[in-house]
Amino acid sequence: MTTNDEALRPISAEQLSVFLSNLIQGGLTTATMIWGPPGIGKSSVVSQVCAKYGLQLIDLRISQLAPTDLRGLPIPANGEARWLPPEFLPRGPVTPKNKDRRAMPTKNIGVLFLDEFNMASSVMQGIAQQLILDRRVGDYMVPDGWYIWAAGNRREDNAAVSQMSGPLANRFLHLEVAPDYRSFRAYMLDRNAKVLRANELATEKGQPLQPLPFAEEIISFLEDNSELHHKLPKSGEEPAWPSPRSWEVAAKLHNSGLGIGSAVGMQVQDLFDSFLRYRHFLQINGKSIVRMILEGKGATWNPENPEVYFKSESGEKLFKPTRNDVIFSISRSLAVLPRTEEEGVRGAVFIAERFGNEYLSVFLQLFMPLSRTSANLKNATGKMMTIPLLRNVILEIGRSMISRAPQK
């Protein structure tokens, strides 16, 4: 990683977003290096933070650049050789002591993002070091207010990386991002929530609706197999492997009716196909039982003609599944898939009535933290508190969370 491979304390993608946001809010332009395995969303977080603050983003893969691409080309000027910088570098005002005659005044600021930094040759890293150390290279100077961030993989990620020199490493802030399913779950749910809001407006205007970026089957599968959200391949294994980046592609393939193996690997596709076959038993007339529950079906049990039921191996209609692992999976799916506060409440009531408090606790421990960060669900827990069937379990979980919280 760094020159002596000292271990950094890993952070999640969500924590990375908070850290970078704090740099921007504080106006801290110290160069920052983001380490982590491939495919976990380092570049996506940088892009999201820039969009959040309205900053320009110039994303350079310096491993694909030649020295003249960054330093520029020499041109004659008044008997001297001057360096003509590339057009893709940011322009803007600089401080008087570094003033560049060719700087173009602008109020725009942004992030110069040097991705795949340590995959670049030592020569390219040396040129980039001038940008980081002096905020200039050749005749070019980085404008005031621009941030220089970089990202790279670690040697243990089987990436073809070059060693970073000690002096260069010492000029960076260093952050290590680790795979974190909770961050990826939050990202998937946030992407879906944005599309749902857009679809509400489209419905009012009579416009076509967009599919959800992450189908409910994808989210439910990853809830049951969270270790597969990021799994680096071993030497000799198939080239496609699961990561947040490849799951985003897999979700698009699935929405198009295609297999996901080309994005996340055939072993994962086989598991996903088995999951879909298993989920088939949790459907009634082709519709997901989880979705039916969230939409308010099966609120009451009619043994003669139940609206929502679970099938036994013999085809008998059951009040609840006979296998505890199936109940656990359904409880988690009901926690992560609600689109509105009403759906969240319906899921909780169904679990309490059909599965009991043990699985209601599983549901609430997952649902309550998610609801606090979702505009669509923020009042759901309060509504649940008005239902006697749910109140005591919610209070017990609240007390448990307080007791586990670190004491100041």
**Higher local confidence (pLDDT), 394 or 126:** 394
Q: Would the CA dihedral through 67, 70, 76, 77 be positive or negative?
A: negative
- pLDDT at residue 84, rounded to an integer: 77
Q: List Cα–Cα distances, 299 to 6, 59, 69, 286, 366, in angstroms.
A: 56, 51, 65, 19, 22
What DSSP character marks residue 89? S
What confidence tier does 403 reach under pLDDT thresholds 50, 70, 90?
A: low
Residue 205 clears pLDDT 70, i.e. is over it: yes
What confidence tier does 401 reach under pLDDT thresholds 50, 70, 90?
A: low
Which pLDDT tens digit goes with each residue over 223-243? Answer: 999 999 999 887 767 899 999
Residue 7 clears pLDDT 60, i.e. is over it: no
What confidence tier does 407 reach under pLDDT thresholds 50, 70, 90?
A: low
**Higher local confidence (pLDDT), 91 or 307:** 307
Cα(316)–Cα(297) distance, integer angstroms = 19
Which pLDDT tens digit goes with each residue over 256-305? Answer: 999 999 999 999 999 999 888 877 778 888 889 999 999 999 888 988 88
E strand map for 308-376:
310-311, 317-318
Domains of the chain: 13-176 (3.40.50.300), 181-404 (no CATH)
Question: If you average pLDDT over every residue of the chain, what do you get?
Answer: 86
Give the tokens for residue 126: 């040396």
Give the tokens for residue 205: 């205007």
Cα(382)–Cα(361) distance, integer angstroms = 16
Q: Give the number of other Cβ atoms within 10 Å of residue 270's Cβ.
A: 12
Highest averaged pLDDT of the listed ranges 204-218, 267-281, 362-376? 204-218
- pLDDT at residue 373, rounded to an integer: 82
Provide long-range contacts, Cβ within 8 A and 24+ apart, for 269-272: 271/221, 271/225, 271/228, 272/221
Which pLDDT tens digit goes with each residue over 21-47? Answer: 999 999 999 999 999 999 998 999 999
- pLDDT at residue 123, rounded to an integer: 81
Task: Please identify which residue in the block is written with the tokens 């991705």.
Answer: 115
Residue 121 clears pLDDT 90, i.e. is over it: no
Provide long-range contacts, Cβ within 8 A and 24+ apart, for 216-219: 216/288, 216/290, 216/291, 216/333, 216/337, 217/254, 217/275, 217/276, 217/279, 218/188, 218/247, 218/250, 218/251, 218/254, 219/185, 219/188, 219/189, 219/333, 219/336, 219/337
**Higher local confidence (pLDDT), 92 or 59:** 59
